[in-house]
Amino acid sequence: MKAEIAILGHLRRRNLQQLLLVYDYMPNGSLDCYLHTQGHSTTILCWAQRFRIIKGIASSLFYLHEDWEQVVIHRDIKTINVFLDSEMNARLGDFGLARSHAHGADAHTTHVAGTWGYIAPELARLGKATKATDVLAFGVLMMEVACARWPIWVNSADGEPLALANWVLAAWRRGSITAAIDPRLECWMTIQDEMHEQHAMSCPTTAITNLSRGR
């Protein structure tokens, strides 16, 4: 099957049967539509749903990085590439930039690929994608899910671009991390959800703190 996909995927001839790649239909669209005001959905995801989505993506990443026969580096983890099925379960998609290599070997990437805001500093500097660069992108995605803000946006005060990671880190240093949470969630909050909130926000902020120390 691998050989068939590799060969037929590149061949174009009238007398050859064409390969069609069909993905599962995701009736609830992509995750970004539920987080940002310009999205088409008016549904507000509660904390339990957001936490389950994050866990689903984490499970997908573990499979790609550790549990398959080769290491798969996705290289473009972002909310636009996370799709939701009929039960609002997360499905990681769009493997157009993905690369694979044997366990214990290094990925052979030399150019920057991905989406700004999710790209790790070492990837921007060296062009080398690793499991760690995927994990950093996942950390940014977690903050986006919790805060409902794009990874980079224009600061209305001075017109300068502002990175979500820096904004969340500043809130954490001020001791006001909960002020960074999506304000639409106030009516959904429960004691259990608050526990999920603290857990979800502590992971990416710890990672960003380590990054600021020159990880």
* Residue 183: strand, helix, or coil: helix
pLDDT at position 211 over 70: no
Q: How many CB atoms lie within 10 A of CB 82?
A: 23
Quick one: pLDDT band at residue 191, thresholds 50, 70, 90?
very low
Lowest average pLDDT, out of 128-132, 173-177, 186-190, goes to: 186-190
Give the closest residue to 43 by CA, choosing from 197, 150, 184: 184
**Residue 124: CA atoms inside 13 Å, Cβ hemisphere, count?**
9
Q: Which domains does the chain have, with CATH numbers?
A: 2-212 (1.10.510.10)
Query: What pTM, to 2 d.p., does this model score?
Result: 0.80
- Give the active site residue among 24, 32, 67, 76: 76
Averaged over 154-166, what is the pLDDT?
Answer: 82
Known active-site residue 24 = no
